[in-house]
Amino acid sequence: MKDRNSKADIYNAIYEIVRLCPKGRVTSYGAVAAAVGLKSGARLVGYAMSVCKDIKPKVPAHRVVNSHGLLSGKHHFATPETMQLLLQKEGIQVHDDKVVDFGRLFWDPIKELDV
DNA sequence: TACCTGACGGGCC
DNA sequence: GGGCCCGCCAGGT
């Protein structure tokens, strides 16, 4: 994942990594960004998520939260409660728009994918 | 072509 | 511990 990714390829890599995120786990924008080679490209990941609804297959963007474990992107879903609902449906406890035990449920793509 | 915005992160005060 | 500022890449106007 550290190849000279094209701008379009980076998006593909982002979606691929997010899809690799196991059910019941969550990851952060920065972690995914680092996984694709963008050390500080967390914003790009967020932007990619904004258009993920047009991407096929569907990307579990609800598993991606910010470094604080907050559901910062919940407002971009069909409804602000969709993101929290999906997480809770997968067994992830969400309280006050933030992931409970975020540090324990955090899934690091770089470590898991061993990049 | 240039400026601004955006689902963020890390460092500093 | 909390808040503020700067930096990052891409896309839209």
Any strand C atom closer than 7 Å to A66 CB: no
**For strand B, which residues in window 16-75 of chain A come within 7 Å by CB?**
28-30, 33, 40, 42-47, 49-50, 52-53, 61-62, 64, 66-68, 72-75
Closest-lying nucleotide for A43 based on CA to C1': B8
pTM of the predicted model as reported, rounded to 2 decimal places: 0.89
Tens digit of pLDDT for each residue in A81-104?
A: 999 999 999 999 999 899 999 999
Tens digit of pLDDT for each residue in A28-80?
A: 999 999 998 888 889 999 999 988 887 878 899 999 999 999 999 998 898 99
Closest-lying nucleotide for A72 based on CA to C1': B7
Angle at A54 between CA A93 and CA A96, to 5 degrees: 20
- What is the C-alpha separation between A97 and A63, in angstroms, rounded? 13
CB atoms within 10 A of CB A62: 24
- What is the C-alpha separation between A73 and A111, in angstroms, rounded? 24
| β-strand pairing of A64-65 with A27-28 | parallel
- Confidence tier at A4 by pLDDT (50, 70, 90): very low
Nucleotides in B strand less than 7 A from protein CB: 6-10
